[in-house]
Structure 1
Amino acid sequence: MGDNQNLLAEQRRALILDEVRRRGGVRVNELTRKLHVSDMTVRRDLDALARQGVIEKVHGGAVPVVEASTHEPGFEAKSSIETSAKEQIALAAAALAQPGSAIALSGGTTTFALARQLTDIPGLTVVTNSVRVADVFHAAQAGTSPLAQPGGTGATVVLTGGVRTPSDSLVGPVADQAIRSLHFDVLFIGVHGISVQAGLSTPNLAEAETNRCFVQAARRVVVVADHTKWGTVGLSSFASLDEVDALVTDSGLSAGARAEIAEQLPELVVAGEQNGSYPDGARGAGS
């Protein structure tokens, strides 16, 4: 029963966030009528969203947080956001990695969670610009990770060089040159923001160029991003949505966002749901 209540709360908060972003602000009394819940429930939801840093509470309601497009939180700060959603996304995305394939993992907390789910897939070649992702595979092979399998998986891990960002990614010309010389079956990439207009974006200019190299080197591009990333725009775009093959996200994604994604992407995977996840039987572009 508790799990159902939590799920309902997450869905309700996603609807509230969608409404705040779409309209530029909402009042508590409007939300109580729209959602058919009590004033106290709405205020608890607004408190939870404010703690996540995605809205700002004002007298009688809430407005969206307008974050500077150049702001880049550190790895530890991002790790505390949407933790359960990231773990669910990681489980769903791991099913898209085939034994013996060459995959790339960008930096970020969602790809870090994904790396922990990939350590028991045999024969992978993993290219990453994340020191933390590389450490996950090293710990599994050394037997020091609780996820390590007996004898390890034998994954070959290639860590690019480069300059370290606040989110512990290696970027810049050294990383770019290494990535351009390689070819991947699948790229799993995390993003600061994803939107119809701006595509995939990041606040870090050098990371944008390195991510652009990743996208160009991959046969298939899979974005792993929790629902709060939809509609967010960073300083620099590095790929348009028509370069993306699939988005793996969580069930907090609103119906409106799902409808937009259905028009733009070939595949949407919503962790924990039966997929297809497009509303009303809609198909993704190109499917």
Structure 2
Amino acid sequence: MSENQNLLAEQRRALILDEVRRRGGVRVNELTRKLGVSDMTVRRDLDALARQGVLEKVHGGAVPVVEASTHEPGFEAKSGLELTAKEDIARAAAALVAPGSAIALSGGTTTFALAHQVLDVPDLTVVTNSVRVADVFHAAQRVAGPRPGAATVVLTGGVRTPSDSLVGPVADQAIGTLHFDTLFLGVHGISVEAGLSTPNLAEAETNRRLVQSARRVVVVADHTKWGVVGLSSFAALEQVDTLVTDSGLAEDDRAEIAEHLRVVVAGREESGSAGADS
């Protein structure tokens, strides 16, 4: 299958998932009309999304999965979702990274995309509790060989989660001794009431330490994270300086978030009155 075909499938599946979540369910024949593709193509897309655990197939269509607040999808399940949005967010967030700075990248598929975007920023020190993020820098340096200005990567250690983050007392102790200019933080969920949250209690504590050790906190999250609440909250919106998101976030939601912090939307910027750092 060609790269273009893969991209079209990814875009189509993102549209299907948005439709299922927005409407609470959808029928195959409705999707074929909306997307202009065959029944077989739609059914293959539904099969793929069902394997990722983000929707449930029913007779003639699909419904959203009602996830418990303790459910934590694995890295592979999340990596196939909202790919275009994550790439847009990563490019916008990379513009906030200054050469020679110390940054932290938490675990997550959006921070993983961001890691690829900052490989050429000179003289970075990168603190991360993500095995996947560390591997991005390691692979790039292995291919390019030693070069001036290459990033120094500090991997915290800890116990590995389903999303390939390292958490727990070892990670917490390491992070607590460090200070970085900017934290780029991926989240499971974000809302006005619950703030930033995750289904993993140990990860919540590690994320608290990351937030405490950062001079500036930048959350990188696509529009599907808004309104999602995990088991444990680890930061209030007022502790966040900037949210970098994609254009799929509704205007009303952007306005609500902008009352608490600065919002950057996939290439264009909106600043809220509270928490803004502009």
TM range (shorter): 0.7 to 0.9
**Matched residue, 2:139:** 139
**Matched residue, 1:41:** 34
**Matched residue, 2:247:** 251
Amino acid at match of 2:80: S
For normalisation by structure 1, the TM-score amounts to 0.77
For normalisation by structure 2, the TM-score amounts to 0.80
Distance change (3 Å), C-alpha of 1:19 and 1:77 = closer
Mapped to 2, the partners of 1:90 and 1:27 lie a distance apart of 31
Matching residue within 270, 273, 278 for 2:265: 270
**Matched residue, 2:68:** 68
Q: Unpaired segments of 5 or more residues in structure 1?
A: 33-37
Mapped to 1, the partners of 2:36 and 2:252 lie a distance apart of 23
Alignment coverage as a number of residue pairs: 259
**Matched residue, 1:229:** 225
**Alpha-carbon distance, 1:232 to partner:** 0.8
Deviations 1:47-77 (A, max 9, x none): 8799386566779998653201111111111
Residues 20 and 63 of structure 2 are in contact (CA less than 8 Å); yes or no, is this contact kept in structure 1? no
Q: Unpaired segments of 5 or more residues in structure 2?
A: 1-7
* 1:208 partnered with 2:204: yes
Residues 122 and 153 of structure 1 are in contact (CA less than 8 Å); yes or no, is this contact kept in structure 2? yes
Identity across matched positions, percent: 69
Matching residue within 149, 154, 159 for 1:158: 154
Amino acid at match of 1:270: V
Mapped to 2, the partners of 1:13 and 1:258 lie a distance apart of 23
**Alpha-carbon distance, 1:155 to partner:** 1.2
Mapped to 2, the partners of 1:62 and 1:139 lie a distance apart of 39
Residues 25 and 64 of structure 2 are in contact (CA less than 8 Å); yes or no, is this contact kept in structure 1? no
Mapped to 1, the partners of 2:253 and 2:58 lie a distance apart of 25
Residues 122 and 149 of structure 2 are in contact (CA less than 8 Å); yes or no, is this contact kept in structure 1? yes
Mapped to 2, the partners of 1:117 and 1:181 lie a distance apart of 27
Distance change (3 Å), C-alpha of 1:186 and 1:207 = same
Matching residue within 181, 193, 206 for 1:197: 193
Deviations 1:215-257 (A, max 9, x none): 0110100001111111111111111111011111111111221
What value does the CA root-mean-square deviation take over the aligned residues?
A: 3.2
